[in-house]
Amino acid sequence: MKNVVTHRKFQRYSALAISPLSIWIVYSIICMKGSSFQETYNWFSNPFNAFFMAAFFIISFLHLKLGLQIIIEDYVHNLKHRSLTILSINIACYIFAGIAIFSILTMLF
Amino acid sequence: MDTIENKTNKRPLSPHLQIYKPQITSILSIFHRFTGVFLAFGLLLSVIFVFFTAMGEETYKWWNCIVNSLVGKGLFFLWLLAIIFHALNGVRYFLWDNDIGMSIPSVKWSGLFVCVLTLVLTCVLGILIWM
């Protein structure tokens, strides 16, 4: 995201979206403590849980990508290194978000 | 600092961490970034957890062993602390964006409030998870 205003807006919107989702996730962790493999797998196969988990991962990775970009821009002063670092963070985010979505879909179907 | 950007446009660098006198606002701002980076690693670990659960019972049990070890529990506690702090301080920043609580006294009080609430919530949720 090159435009600073869009960057800032998306950072705020994603923060607003993940705050209720993270409350739900901490609540789920408390409910799921000590559960077996089958119980955990069944929890993920529930379409409601799968949808919100996928949403959580996508929005979190967007928020992560935007947040780390600001930190890199503040501390990496060499422009070439800066854009390379940001590019590799972006690629890593897409790969990990992809793995998360793939895993959730495997358990859903 | 000797960098391309500084040589070309001679602008000062943004975070002057060394010359700042530590104040609650700056400390919490630094800690917000720090917990953000920490949570980034937490997010990667949770992707691995979801992936291992999807791969079957064997990898799930292997992962469970790590999570239930002392290191795993310690890291989880720090994750809980980080996510609660980052969320509460994020709400504070969101209020600032909407021009709420911007005066010097309220900025200090809200910072202190965030610290206390983070510690209380982390302890309560930690007890709920491990009791």
Cβ-contact B32, B89 below 8 angstroms: yes
A79–B5: do the CB atoms touch at under 8 Å?
yes
Please give chain B's pLDDT, 131 residues, in tens: 445 554 555 666 666 667 777 888 888 999 999 999 999 999 999 999 999 999 988 898 888 888 888 898 899 899 999 999 999 999 999 999 898 888 999 999 999 999 999 999 999 998 888 77
- Residue A109's pLDDT is what? 81
Residue A57: which of B47, B57, B128 has the nearest Cβ?
B47
Tokens found for residue A108 = 């859903």
A44–B80: do the CB atoms touch at under 8 Å?
no
State which residue of chain A sits closest to B39, comparing Cα positions. Answer: A64
B53–A30: do the CB atoms touch at under 8 Å?
no
Nearest Cα neighbor of A101 from A67, A59, A64 is A59
What mean pLDDT do residues A44-71 have?
93
pTM above 0.90, yes or no: no
- Residue B130's pLDDT is what? 78
- Residue B1's pLDDT is what? 45
Determine phi and psi for A2, rounding to 5 degrees. -85, -35
What mean pLDDT do residues A30-57 have?
90
Return the DSSP state at B69: S
List pLDDT tens digits, range A91-109: 999 999 999 999 999 998 8
* Overall residue count recorded for chain A in this entry: 109
- Residue B4's pLDDT is what? 52
Residue A67: which of B3, B36, B60 has the nearest Cβ?
B36
- Residue B11's pLDDT is what? 64
Could you tell me what percent of chain A has a pLDDT over 90? 62
CA distance B118 to B80: 10
Domains, chain A: 2-108 (1.20.1300.10)
